[in-house]
Structure 1
Amino acid sequence: MNSTTPASTDSLALPVELRWMSIVFMQGEEAATVLDTIDKKGAETAIQHLSQWDFGDETRDAALVNGYVYDDIPRSPTDRVIRDKASGYALAYNHQFGYVSLLGRFDSVVEDMRESVARPARFGFSRHGPARRANGIRL
């Protein structure tokens, strides 16, 4: 872009509001295994392991329904947080209290847009109910 080119239309773009959703939270023995992995193989290995619990839209929908969506990573002052920008995950863990949490980023503006669009009727049968069943056999 040269100096005579007018300003781009980026100012007209919608603001991107990235939020965090809970993928998995573990405590007790389950968390102890992951905490050991963090100590021995690093946080990246733990993130890769815990990402198995991310089922895409299903995980996102469950987080939205259950209220596990946050403006920032939920953590206590004693938590250690590792963000993996490449994968979009954040790992929050605490050896003292024995828990680990994997969170994923998502664009809530896109989610709001999806919710505002009405779903199409399924095969055009949206007004039809189930077929009525007759009581018994008629001869």
Structure 2
Amino acid sequence: MYTFERDEPSTRWISVVFLQGEEAEDLLSVIDREGPISAIYRLKHFDHGDETIEAALVNGYVYDAVPAGSTDHTIEPFGSPYALTYSDTFGYVSLLRRYEPEAEPNFAPSDVLAPFERTPQSIADAWMANPTAAVSATSGQRVVAL
């Protein structure tokens, strides 16, 4: 039997803003009247780009999935970098943004990369002088003369 392993999530989420109490009540009213997309547009101004990312990383507000409880409503508009989570029961509103950390480059180990021992010109000169000896001198490397 083959067990499928889950891949690491390609997208993570950072918290942009979390409002509760009176501030959240105003937005919950907006959601009731105008819908959740309107609330997302109103909360977008809390997103300050890299500053928001840094604050979320420092404070640990980075998630593998949109955090939501059993009483929460979660809206992820198609094509939008934002997700809105809100709860009428507990009186809060949260805006999150997709965060894709930059992949760190995977460099090959330095012992794998060997510098050329001979210049292309010296290989060509050796080949022109004696084609059969030049091939054996390159220790199995393929030499092409143009």
Fold conserved (TM > 0.5)?
yes
| Alignment counterpart, residue 11 of structure 2, candidates 18, 21, 24 | 18
Count of aligned pairs: 98
Contact kept? 2:16, 2:47, Cα under 8 Å: yes
1:8-66 per-residue CA deviation (whole Å, 9 max, x = no partner) reads: xxxxxxx8721000000000000000000000011110000001100000000100010
Measure how far apart 1:104 and its partner are.
0.3
The one-letter code matched in structure 2 to 1:30 is E
Moved over 2 A (4+): none
Match of 2:39 in 1: 46
TM-score by length of 1: 0.67
Structure 2 counterparts to residues 1-139 of structure 1, below 5 A:
17-108=10-101, 110=102, 112-113=103-104
**Letter aligned with residue 98 of structure 1:** G
Of structures 1 and 2, the one scoring higher in RCO (CA 8 A, sep 6+) is 1
Counterpart of 2:95, as a letter, is: L
Task: Look up the SS of the partner of 2:104 in the other structure.
Answer: helix
Partner-residue secondary structure (3-state), 1:84: coil
Separation in 1, partners of 2:38, 2:79: 14
TM-score by length of 2: 0.64
Task: For residue 106 of structure 1, report the CA deviation from its aligned partner.
Answer: 1.2
Name the CA distance, whole Å, in 2 between partners of 1:90 and 1:63: 15
Instruction: Give the root-mean-square deviation of aligned CA atoms.
Output: 1.6
8 Å contact from structure 2 (residues 9, 64) kept in 1: no
Structure 1 gap segments, 5+ residues each: 1-14, 115-139
Q: Secondary structure at the match of 1:24?
A: strand
Q: Is residue 20–residue 105 contact of structure 1 (8 Å, CA) maintained in 2?
A: yes
Match in the other structure for 1:125: none
